[in-house]
Amino acid sequence: MDKPLPKKKGLRRKHIYLGAGILAMIFIVYRAFFTENISTYRINKDEVTLATVTEGIFHNYITVIGNVEPIATIYLDAREGGRVEEKVVEEGAVVKKGDVILRLSNPDLNLSILNSEAQLAEKSNFLRNTMVTMEQERIMIKRELLNLEFDIKRKKRIYKQKKILWNDSLISEDEFLRAEEDFQFAQRSFELYLERQKQDSVYRSIQVKQMNDNLHNMELNLQLVRQRKENLNVKAPVDGQLTTLDVELGQSVPKGGRIGQISVLTSFKVVARIDEHYIDKVKTGLTAILERQGKEFQLKIRKVLPEVRNGRFTVEMVFTGEKPENMRTGQTYYTRLQLGNPNKALLLPRGAFFQETGGQWIFVVSEDGKYATKRFIKIGRQNPKYYELLEGLKPGEKVIISNYESFGDNERIILQ
């Protein structure tokens, strides 16, 4: 007959498996309901850059690099072609208006000037002779009128005498009628000559005026022709510095050819190239600030060139007041170009985080400084130092503004 076996006391293997299963279930429930399921990345606190959100005045400006150029550049062109005989001044010299820079020679021009002078002199003599002839004709007509006037007086006297004699029947009627007809003919001839004199006077006055005008024009033309010879001396049109003189002795220079340029140094302008992103915001009249020698100098945009090259467009700025001392053409300056009026706003220092986030979110540091979590933000305008914060952050909060490339897709950063 079988004997009943006594039950074993203590932990058995199944009890260990059961306990491990219960603990695993408890851990899963805890992780699911009592902890945050957030991907985390750990980093040394010294490897990130922190910044604090502040409230202050946002200055809407951009920093542009400008080069100093003369306020104006005058190009030298040869008004007459010729061979270079003498360079009176060299490049870099300061010249005054009217100073001779270059002397040219042109034998063909000299011959042309002599021919022109001869032709003008011939025409001038012809016009003067014509005017003398017209004056002689005028005097002849006056003399003829004088003869006719005295002829009328004589025939009138004869006519009156014949009339008395005819009334007394001392002469024949035919003789009387001939005396009357001679008197009437003399009167009609005098009237006809008076009419001719009036017409000739009007015509002569018009013709004389035209001839005087022609003579005046010819004298002006002669002066211009002689001036062409003077143009062989290339002179400075303004005061300034001869920055370029691109000719050599013996060189033939064509008429209208570019031979150099003069820089007007009475003032300077700053020429800057700006990214095309700002082309709709940059307009003439905007102000800029240039810092040099511990002082600020005011500039104003005078001209905005419409052409865009390699993603940039050009502006010209001039000083509105005092300008820096010892300025030189070609110097480079950094200027702050104001795009709008300053206003109160939340300010976030610029950082490399913008490259990864596009300004849509940022890691905000907890109050105890042990970790940072992702938060969506909204950024408005920006300048070289700050972003303008519109939403998402409060004054005094700290954020990570360094590069996020190593953070990956983690949403929490543990700062060790």
DSSP string, 158-198: HHHHHHHHHHTT-S-HHHHHHHHHHHHHHHHHHHHHHHHHH
pLDDT at 315 over 90: yes
Question: What pLDDT is recorded for position 1?
Answer: 47
pLDDT at 28 over 70: no
Question: What pLDDT is recorded for position 399?
Answer: 92
- Which of 2.40.70.10, 2.40.420.20, 3.90.950.10, 3.40.30.10 is the CATH number of 35-60+343-415? 2.40.420.20
Phi-psi region of 188 (alpha: psi -120 to 50; beta: other; left: phi over 0): alpha
| Tens-place pLDDT, residues 125-143 | 877 787 788 778 778 878 8
What would the mean pLDDT of 39-63 be, rounded to a whole number?
87
Q: Which of 6-15, 61-70, 119-128, 406-415 bottoms out in mean pLDDT, i.e. has the lowest?
A: 6-15
Structure-token pair, residue 130: 């014509």
Question: What pLDDT is recorded for position 34?
Answer: 47
What would the mean pLDDT of 260-286 be, rounded to a whole number?
88
| Tens-place pLDDT, residues 113-123 | 788 778 777 87
Instruction: Sketch the domain layout of the chain as residue ranges.
Output: 35-60+343-415, 62-68+264-338, 108-230
What would the mean pLDDT of 47-61 be, rounded to a whole number?
88
pLDDT bin (cut points 50, 70, 90) of residue 4 is low
| Tens-place pLDDT, residues 349-379 | 988 898 888 889 999 999 888 899 999 999 9
pLDDT bin (cut points 50, 70, 90) of residue 317 is very high
Contact in structure between 228 and 80 (CB atoms under 8 Å): yes
Question: What pLDDT is recorded for position 32?
Answer: 47
pLDDT bin (cut points 50, 70, 90) of residue 31 is low
Question: What pLDDT is recorded for position 29?
Answer: 55
pLDDT bin (cut points 50, 70, 90) of residue 10 is low
What does the mean pLDDT of the chain come to? 83
Give the rounded percent of residues in the chain with a pLDDT score beyond 70: 93
Phi-psi region of 320 (alpha: psi -120 to 50; beta: other; left: phi over 0): alpha
DSSP string, 374-400: EEE-EEEEE-SSEEEEEES--TT-EEE
Question: What pLDDT is recorded for position 17?
Answer: 65
Beta bridge partners of 102: 87, 234
pLDDT at 43 over 90: no
| Tens-place pLDDT, residues 199-216 | 877 777 787 778 778 777
Cα separation, 174 vs 157, whole angstroms: 17
The CATH number assigned to the domain with range 62-68+264-338 reads: 2.40.30.170
Cα separation, 300 vs 322, whole angstroms: 12
| Tens-place pLDDT, residues 65-101 | 999 888 888 888 888 888 888 888 888 888 898 888 8
pLDDT at 313 over 90: yes
Question: What pLDDT is recorded for position 206?
Answer: 80
pTM, rounded to two decimals: 0.53
